[in-house]
Amino acid sequence: MDLKLKNISHSYGAVEVLKDISLDIPQGQIICLVGPSGCGKSTLLRFLGGLERPNSGEVLQVGNPPPGSLNPLTYVFQHFALLPWRTVEGNIRLVLEDHGISRREMEEIVTDVLDRTRLSDFRKALPKQLSGGMRQRVAISRALAVRPAVMLMDEPLSALDSQTRELLMDDLISLWTRQPFTSVYVTHNLNEAVRLGHRVVVLSRRPGQIRAIVDIDIPLSDRHLGDPVLEEKQKQLWDLMRDEAMAADKELVNV
């Protein structure tokens, strides 16, 4: 299933947040959204997920979700949102409980996603027993359990330390390599964008408009920390954003 944004514009009262955004999100690609603070990245993600509707324009779903999809669109947030009294497997099972599937199928799905995210040995653990990186793996497992057509990821690694972030990026690349998925991934971290994105969409300062789309043609499995090509792509992104990021920072400070 592909997603299409057509001429999306939106304001909150007198504040114009997004202006005339059109974007194709093809099946099987990770599209990263970057831009200055307050440029509307998370707002755009909410429109894609149907949590809000734009003032003008439309979001189109083209084609069918994957076979057995229980929820075509699902979120992974910055904060893990795990229920502390439920085990790892219990938190994953939660998103399956209202879909009318058999207990046997539910357990097969839980076992599969735990295996894919390397959490099988921790299925009986409670969230308080896990590190931040492990908790985010549980959140990703929970998202995968509903077999989404598109995963909408809103700064999922920003609350983690740099070492854990690197490990989670490796995990996401491994997951995609084993079974490609579609994702729209919001981040402030340009290293994440060039490591994970097939395309990186650069939004301008508010009102957010598409300033550039940077393609990264290196296979995900071949992207590594310190790769000079990726470092050059990261510099290209920062050159596109630097002046507007500085202006946005001053604007936020003065509010």
Query: What pLDDT score does 250 carry?
Result: 67
What integer is the mean pLDDT of 129-133?
92
Owning domain of residue 241: 1-65+150-255
| Domain match, 60 and 173 both | yes
How confident is the prediction for the chain on average, in pLDDT?
91
Q: Tokens 């509903």 correspond to what residue?
A: 146
| Domain match, 118 and 140 both | yes
Query: What pLDDT score does 243 carry?
Result: 84
Alpha-carbon span 36 to 67, nearest angstrom: 37
| Domain match, 159 and 105 both | no
Query: What pLDDT score does 254 carry?
Result: 38
* CATH number, position 165: 3.40.50.300
Reported as a pLDDT band with limits 50, 70 and 90, residue 134 is very high
| Domain match, 179 and 127 both | no
> Quick check: is 70 in a domain?
no
Of residues 243 and 190, the one with the higher pLDDT is 190
Q: Which residues contact 116 (CB under 8 A, 6 or more apart)?
A: 141, 144, 175, 178, 179
> Quick check: is 116 in a domain?
yes
Total domains present in the chain = 2
Reported as a pLDDT band with limits 50, 70 and 90, residue 224 is confident
Query: What pLDDT score does 77 carry?
Result: 85
| pLDDT tens profile 164-215 | 889 999 999 999 998 899 999 999 999 999 999 999 999 999 899 999 999 9
Lowest mean pLDDT among 78-82, 131-135, 166-170, 238-242: 78-82
